[in-house]
Structure formats: C-alpha cells, structure tokens
Structure 1
Amino acid sequence: MTAEAILRLSTDPVLPFYPLDIALDVQNKLKDDPLQTAELLAAAAILRDNSTFLQSESMRPANDPKERDPSHVRMLNDVLQGLEKSFLIPAPPAGLCRNLLYGLSTQSSRFSILKDAQEVERPVNQTLSFVFNAIRSAQKLVQSGLELFENDPDSSH
C-alpha cells in the first residue's frame, strides 16, 4: 500500500488530495460538537462550497491530458499541498496530534482538540480559535486557488 501511494505521488500529475473530502470531514467533525458555533459552521460551509468548485472546475481539467497545462498543475499542486498544512497548530496540547484533522481515538468523530478542551477543561475560547483559524486558513487557500484559475487569460472558464 505504501509503494502504491509513493507511485501515485510521483507519477500522477495532480496530487491525490481532495479538498472536498477535507471540507466534508471538517463539517462532520463540527456537526454534533457541543462546542460548535455559528461562526465555525459558516466557515466550514464556505470551505465546502469553495472546495467543491475547486475540485470540479480546476482539478478535473488538470487530470485530463488534453487540457493539462503544466503551470496550472503546478499551481494546483501548491494549493493542494498547503491545504492540509492549514490544519497544523504550533503547540498542540499533550497527547494530541499537531494536525487538527487527525485524532488519536477513532471512537469520536469530533475534533480531538475540542473534545480535549471540554474534558480536561482547557481554555475553550483558545481552542475554538485554533479550529476557526485553521478552517479560515484552508478556506483562504482554496479561494486563492480558485482566483488563480479564474484570473488566468488562458483559462476556458
């Protein structure tokens, strides 16, 4: 499985990262979380909408050899590579992953950092801020990817 992943990463023109999957994961993590806020849900919805558009309008042509433009592929891969990095936090609480998308427990679909804040009584506002900033960072990255392709005079969109 590792060899197949390495082969795909080295041979596929577009990195096999799917922004819509990340956006849906974010929404699912927030869906039933008691610490969710309207602001978090709104940011996650915008991330989902923009990710849907990026995945369908920009990734599809980049994967088609007839439509593939090397500069588009490079820009798209830069956006995709940075997307997951948006969810990294500098100093996670002890026992948690640095990437907010990953949890050490498969028993909960919540953001681990939110669950931890509630259970261990860490500062909830700071924790919510970590999650909100990560979502906004991903949202801005996806939006910048859309704008790159939207403003391209060679683009057929």
Structure 2
Amino acid sequence: MTAEAVLRLCTDPVLPFSPLDIALDVQNKLKDDPLQTTELLAAAAILRDNSTFLQSETMRPANDPKERDPAHVRMLNDVLQGLERSFLIPAPPAGLYRNLLYGLNTQSSRFSILKDAQEVKRYRPVNQTLSLVSTAITSAQRLIQSGLELFESDPDDSSH
C-alpha cells in the first residue's frame, strides 16, 4: 500500500489530495464539539464551499490529459501541498499530533487539541486552543481562495 501511494505521488500529474475531504473532515470535527463557535462553523463552511469549487472546476481539468496545462498543474499542486500544512501547529501538547486533522482516538470525531484543552486543561487555555484551530481553518480557506483566484487568470498573461 505504501509503495502504491509513493508511486501515485511520483507519477500522478496532480497530487492525490482531496481538499473537499479535508473540508468535510473539519466540519465533522466541529459539528458536535461543545467548544465550536459560530465563527469556526462559518469559516469551515467557506472552506467547504471553496474546496468543492476548486476540486470540481480546477482539479478535474488538471487530471484530464486533453485539458492539462502544466502551469496550472504546478500551481494546483502548490495549493494542495500547502493545504495540509495549514493545519500544522507548533509545539502541540504531549501525546498529540502536530497536524490538527489527525486524531488519537477513532471513537471521537472532535479535534484532539480541543478535547485535550477542555478535558485536561494542562497545555493552553481553551481560548488559545480555539484560536489555533480558527487560524488553521482560516489559513486553509485563504489558501484555497488564493488558488481559485490564480486559476481565474491566465498564467501566460503577465498583465494579471
């Protein structure tokens, strides 16, 4: 399975990441979280909407050899690569992943860092932890939005 994943990363023109899956995961993690806020839910909804559009309108043509533009593929891969990085945090609590999207417990769909902040209260105050999650979602949303704006313009036209 690892060899197949490495082979896809090396041979597929577009990185095999799904921005929509990431956005839906973010929404699911927030859905029933007692710490979620209206602002977090709104940011997650914007991320989902923009990810849906990026995936359908930009990724589909990039994967079609007849429509593939090398400049767009490169820009798209840069956006996809940066998307996952948006969810990395510095100095996570002991026992938690640096990537906010990764959970330690498959029984809980919450962000592990929010659960830790609420239950353990040893790392950061809840409001600082919420700020980390908000910053990650907003960063991902801005990255997807900038990717959409890149694809609205012609990469060969230097006037944009």
TM-score above 0.5: yes
Aligned equivalents of 1:142, 1:98: Cα separation in 2: 21
Aligned equivalents of 2:156, 2:20: Cα separation in 1: 25
What's 1:128 paired with? 130
Sequence identity, in percent? 88
What's 2:105 paired with? 105
Q: 1:16 offset after TM fit, Å? A: 0.2
Amino acid at match of 2:79: V
Matched positions, count: 155
Amino acid at match of 1:61: P
Superposition misfits of 4+ residues, deviation over 6 angstroms: none
Aligned equivalents of 2:111, 2:155: Cα separation in 1: 40
What's 1:74 paired with? 74
Q: Which structure 1 segments of 5+ residues have no match? A: none
Amino acid at match of 1:41: L
Q: 5 Å matches for 1:1-16?
A: 1-16=1-16
Aligned equivalents of 1:51, 1:24: Cα separation in 2: 9
Q: 1:154 offset after TM fit, Å? A: 6.8
Aligned equivalents of 1:128, 1:77: Cα separation in 2: 29
Q: Does the aligned pair in 1 maintain the 2:71–2:155 contact within 8 Å?
A: no
What's 2:58 paired with? 58
Aligned equivalents of 2:156, 2:21: Cα separation in 1: 28
Q: 1:95 offset after TM fit, Å? A: 1.0
Listed one character per residue, the Cα deviations across residues 3-58 of structure 1 (whole Å, up to 9, x for unaligned) are 10011000000000000000000000000000000000000000000000000000
Quote the RMSD (CA, aligned, Å): 1.2
What's 2:142 paired with? 140
Q: 1:105 offset after TM fit, Å? A: 1.2
Q: 5 Å matches for 1:24-63?
A: 24-63=24-63
Amino acid at match of 2:148: L
> What TM-score do the two structures reach when normalised by structure 1?
0.96
Change (3 A) 1:125 1:154: same
The SS at the match of 1:100 is coil
Amino acid at match of 1:116: D
The SS at the match of 2:128 is helix
Amino acid at match of 1:104: L
Q: 1:153 offset after TM fit, Å? A: 6.7
Aligned equivalents of 2:66, 2:83: Cα separation in 1: 26
Q: 1:151 offset after TM fit, Å? A: 1.8
What's 2:91 paired with? 91
Q: Which structure 2 segments of 5+ residues have no match? A: none
Amino acid at match of 2:112: S
